[in-house]
Amino acid sequence: MRIDIITVMPELLESPLNHSMMKRAQEKGLLEIKLHHLRNFAVNKYGQVDDMQYGGGAGMVIMCEPLSKAIESLKSERTYQEIIYLTPDGKTFNQQTANRLSLHENIMMICGHYKGIDQRIRDLYVTLEISIGDYVLSGGELAAAVLVDSIGRLIPGVLNDETSALTDSHQDGLLAPPVYTRPAEFKGLSVPDILLSGHFAKIEEWRHEQAVKRTQERRPDMSN
């Protein structure tokens, strides 16, 4: 999979995308992430990519011309299954969307900044608008990092244990059950006996029951 990210702040993405699991995914050749500095497509020699809003109001808007040039340049090299704009008014990101996106070969992401991007870019190019929650960030870079991590870990071969992603919270519409490791007793609290029994069928039954219980208690909206 290849993910191209257009941004005015590529340095915000360099660290989260070049460490831990995402670093290993790229080293294995399973995931290719390319950052594209929007100022390379600026409208003048001063690197301008934003301007004041028509109609007045606080905050600058990323202009059509530089974004269009960046998008067209990338599209001339490959076909993208999705061109994603990270925005607070997009569809809320969830595990099902991550699963679907992980099956694609090429994805482009556009990171908004300031007051966002000119609406005409959204109308002309964007195929999917995504929000990672009902709050506002300084820009779309951190949201893009969240998407890349969530999608990238689902690519076969990225995780050491292929089954790990399948048992994550939200994969089956439930939160994950509680987990334990050594020691068997800690500050008066013991690991449930069933987990020490070696009876794997009953352990799986217990885990499912705990997942249902936790989901009902913490996310009743998921149980509807």
- Among 142, 140, 112, smallest CA distance to 16 is for 142
Instruction: Judge contact between 144 and 40, C-beta under 8 A.
Output: no
Q: What is the pTM of this model?
A: 0.90
DSSP output for 82-122? EEEEEEEEEEEP-HHHHHHHTT-SEEEEEE-BTT-B-HHHH
Can you give the pLDDT at residue 223?
A: 63
Residue 94 pLDDT greater than 90, yes or no: yes
2-152 and 169-223: identical CATH topology? no
Can you give the pLDDT at residue 222?
A: 85
One of 3.40.50.11900, 3.40.50.300, 3.30.930.10, 3.40.1280.10 is the CATH number of 2-152, namely 3.40.1280.10
Instruction: Say which residues have a Cβ less than 8 Å from residue 51's Cβ, sequence separation at least 6.
Output: 60, 61, 63
Output the 3-class SS for 7-33: ECCCHHHHCCCCCHHHHHHHHCCCCEE
Can you give the pLDDT at residue 147?
A: 98
- pLDDT tens sequence across 32-84: 999 999 999 999 999 999 999 999 999 999 999 999 999 999 999 999 999 99
Residue 202 pLDDT greater than 70, yes or no: yes
Q: Mean pLDDT across the stretch 190-209? A: 96
Listed by start position, the domains of the chain span 2-152, 169-223
One of 1.10.150.20, 3.40.50.300, 1.10.1270.20, 3.40.50.2000 is the CATH number of 169-223, namely 1.10.1270.20
Residue 170 pLDDT greater than 80, yes or no: no
CA distance 210 to 224: 17
Can you give the pLDDT at residue 208?
A: 94
- Among 115, 139, 95, smallest CA distance to 6 is for 139
Residue 3 pLDDT greater than 60, yes or no: yes
Can you give the pLDDT at residue 32?
A: 98
Residue 169 pLDDT greater than 60, yes or no: no
Residue 194 pLDDT greater than 80, yes or no: yes
Residue 19 pLDDT greater than 80, yes or no: yes
Quote the mean pLDDT of the chain: 93
Residue 16 pLDDT greater than 60, yes or no: yes
Can you give the pLDDT at residue 17?
A: 94
- pLDDT tens sequence across 107-116: 999 999 889 9
Q: Mean pLDDT across the stretch 126-153? A: 96
Can you give the pLDDT at residue 165?
A: 60
Can you give the pLDDT at residue 224?
A: 58
